[in-house]
Amino acid sequence: MGSCLETEFKRYYDSLTKAANADVSSRQTRMCIADLARFSLKYLKASAKRVTLTSSVKAKEYFAYSSTSKADTLSRPVNKKLFDGRYASLAKRLDSWCAGTMAVEDAPRFIYSICLAPCLVFELLNRGNKKGPATYFERVIGHLLSGALGVAPVRQAWLPLRGLNRVSMTMDFLFDLGSTRRVHVAAKMSTRERIVQAWAHQVMLNKVFANPKYTGVLVLFSETKLDVKAKKVTEICVPDQWLAYQCLLTQMDRIFYLDPPKRYLDLAKEHPGVIPVQILPPTPKQIESALR
């Protein structure tokens, strides 16, 4: 990627950082998400090429992007069925989703694509940059859920300690919906990103807040892994670890995926009430209903 494009991408990302740090639920944050996603999709179309990958995941086809200037650099895998590369009217389509007027059948591809596109560009710029994509995904999910729940989240939880002053813990998103409901959301690109931290935070919240308790929610992107040399995609799943966390640490009440692994969907069927995995509901109203 040329230096001018790198600079422009960074400018859009820095604008989103500033807006989201001020208020992840704001209109300004939404505009910045749309600007960054649109720029990323335009870049991928104009300055990158698709590379077909071998998929070891049943019934899923994947490809990656390669920069025309760095042919040996590959992005993370992209689910062919879920990706929509269109960038025209992206801000209007994001407004439509947030307003609940987007067609239900269009919503999953739209959300998957705006969550993924800047992550792909990050990786074409610097394949080793893990923080950028993770932080971007977290901000998008924070904004979308803020709209669905109708309240801005906080990130600091003040926890009293026996015999000591209270301490502050930073978490992804904490939504206070009044006297009847609270929601704790952890947003991660995959469970390989320090995922036990989500359960640890939920344990602490359960000990301090009882009436109302915090509903524990995980929002995850996928569990794909790319063998760059072989250009082969696999899904990495750890079902025993999930069962142990859910049964021995605490229960996360909802686990949403944008591209859910079949192994975890099967695990949810094998252990109903223990592994609550499902695809992220496609509309704000359905998300709000799922979090009740």
Distance, in Å, from the CA atom of 254 to the CA atom of 148, rounded to the nearest integer, reads: 15
Q: Of 226, 233, 232, 276, give the one whose Cα is nearest residue 251.
A: 276
Q: What gap in Å lies between CA 187 and CA 96, rounded to an integer?
A: 23
**What CA–CA distance (Å, rounded) separates 141 from 139?**
5
State residue 2's pLDDT score: 53
Share of the chain above pLDDT 90, in %: 86
Q: How many CB atoms lie within 10 A of CB 105?
A: 8
Segment 44-64, tens digit of pLDDT: 999 999 999 999 999 999 999
Angstrom CA distances, 260 to 57, 160, 250, 266, 276, stand at 11, 37, 22, 10, 12
pLDDT digits (tens, 9 = 90+) for 99-142: 999 999 999 999 999 999 999 999 998 877 789 999 999 999 99
Residues 283, 242: Cα–Cα separation, whole Å: 27
Verify cis geometry, omega within 30 degrees of 0, for the bond prior to 212. yes
User: Which regions of the chain are under pLDDT 70?
Assistant: 1-2, 71
- Could you give the CA distance from residue 34 to residue 51 in angstroms, rounded to a whole number? 26
Query: CA angle, corner 35, sides to 29 and 38, nearest 5?
Result: 135
pTM (2 decimals)? 0.95
